Structure 1
Amino acid sequence: METSKKLPADPSEPAPLPEGDGAVEDDRLVKGNLSFHDITEMVSRHAEKEAPMAWYVAFAAALSGTLLLLGLFAYVVWNGIGVWGNNQPVGWGWPIVNFVFWVGIGHAGTLISAILYLFRQHWRTAINRAAEAMTLFAVMCALIWPTFHVGRVWAIYWTLPIPNQMAMWPQFKSPLLWDVFAVSSYFIVSLLFWYVGLVPDLATLRDRAKGFWRSRILAFFSLGWTGSNRHWRNYEKAYLLLAGLATPLVLSVHSVVSFDFAVSVIPGWHTTIFPPYFVAGAIFSGFAMVVTLMVITREVYGLKNVITIDHLEKMNIIILVTGSIVGFAYITEFFMAWYSGVEYEQYAFLNRAFGPYAWAYWIMMTCNLITPQLFWSKRLRRSIPV
């Protein structure tokens, strides 16, 4: 009977991680031969240590910006949205531009959490918490703009189908109302998805907490989690159901946002390409924001072994794909304007490219179409400065 011989180790492969209960098995996700205890310590200490002076400086700057925002919104309410340039025939203007921007960058969180979870892409685990939190704040910022865009902010509750003595119901043919239902549903599901995913992490912080109020608050939000087999089974079922519910929302929310423009009769905007065009653009901008935040986070908090270059490279690949889709949509718009033979459509696109705002158009083309093509190079995809 022949005895099997152990093959020599391939020098091109990474060194195996130490075996044992505390070892991380997949060195592609976490670098540095870290144990589970090491990762827990590395991540938890930032939530447990005393906040440094730099944190208070950053908080003061953010609070000052928030107070400035509230003051400027009060100015808008007092003087009317005409100060933003909204008037006849300018119907969208500054508030809707900001609305689309914030909803767009809020797409990556649910995409990373839901769709990548369903496809069992384990590399999402290093970045999904930050991406989900970014989604929640971005959606909250997005809802501000259509609220003030209506002009009479005190009547914004009319968009909700609330029974009233005047028997008045919302105008269900209005894209503004579609936004209310789509974005609010997206926010609620994203909030639940974020919170359910945090329950085991909150329990870990609960078990490590030293202060009375800290331990009590964490105990309340961790819902009595013990890490038992029954808890993990229920957790995975709930997470899977929420992922399945959130996935169509990723595609539907920005499709509905695109209807704000597509259902108009304005040349250059009344087009059926907008739903996939807006979805790809939202994923593109959302992933770009996540990459930006992760590059800063891994440097400031010393998480380079947890948020690795491999994670950033995979996100850059998605940016490359979605950026190319957006660029294809740009070119398709020009083709359809030419093919239609409608002079108003042709003028709208020629004016964008060569009119008074040509500088903005070509900056957009450079950033959204040309620059992502750099990521065809593996070396550039893995470069932090790039």
Structure 2
Amino acid sequence: MNAKLITAPVVALDVMSGDGGPAVAIAAADIAAERYPRLSFLLFGKEAVIAAELAKHPRLAARSKVFHTDDVVLMTDKPSQALRRSRTSSMGMAIGAVKSGEAHAAVSAGNTGALMAMALFALRTMPGIDRPALAALLPTLKNDSVVLDLGANTECDADNLVQFAVMGAAFARTVLGLERPRVALLNIGEEEMKGTEEIKEAAAMLRGADLPMQFEGFVEGDKIGQGDVDVVVTDGFSGNIALKTAEGTSRLVIGLLANAFRSSWLTQLGYLLSRGALRALRAHLDPNAHNGAVFLGLNGLVVKSHGSANERGIANAIGVAHDLIVDSVGTRISHDMASFKAHRPADAPAA
């Protein structure tokens, strides 16, 4: 897929997913339509409900096609249950539009396990990629960092981690605009002798690889927020824990500050004086500002939005899909994996 040829990206949107339902999804799509004048939508869900919401957003209505279905994947559905309805549910039909070529990417705020299962079943993995990885942006003291895998694969071997590093670097070059992202493996220490055999083998392969990235070795969990690396690579078990810990810590910090400022009239005065800085902090830590996780490594783009995201958050997830479409992230990944395999370091162990 050549980025220069995609002048009119098309996003398939699962309108029925997410806590906010169709009203929030349609409002988000309208925000994205304003940001990206060439972007158009395929909207999947209950036609009457979608039509009522589209009536409030004529700009979006002019650039959308509606596909009716009464079937919705619930958050409580098991992936196996959702798979059986991949042709009838709003989530499955959105992914199907990517498979058929009608859309360049699918966006859903629904059940993560179901979305992963449907996407993998319909799109399959790209050549050279054994497993897809879920990648997202995390805020740091400097710029945002890409973290993957965030839960798609609980156990990974060295080859999986190397593939995640290649995909994460391609994602960072697209979304963060970096020519040579700094990549590191999440580990229990920065010393070369620490970590599992899989992590050590992956590091050996990446150190000698000729790839459009700067491999920084290992990074510890407490250093992720420093922003000294652009891409943090790990297995899905550790990555999901790191993500949830970071989100919980941000809520803890905001809660502690709120309690502190309410403790006395002096602290309340301090709040009034520092209100602008505190609003900036809250905005920086707001998950909606970083919304949009991507299943990398599939033959098609699928973006996962937080289920609790507001309209601005879902619009940001659609924006991630738009950027990955126009920059042909799949082509970048394919090229980099082919280059790595062709010039695999001779002294790197075969995982």
CA radius of gyration, larger in: 1
TM-score (norm 1): 0.25
More helix by share: 1
Tell me the TM-score normalised to structure 2 length.
Answer: 0.27
Per chain length, whose mean CA-contact separation is higher, i.e. which structure has more relative contact order (CA < 8 Å, sep 6+)?
2
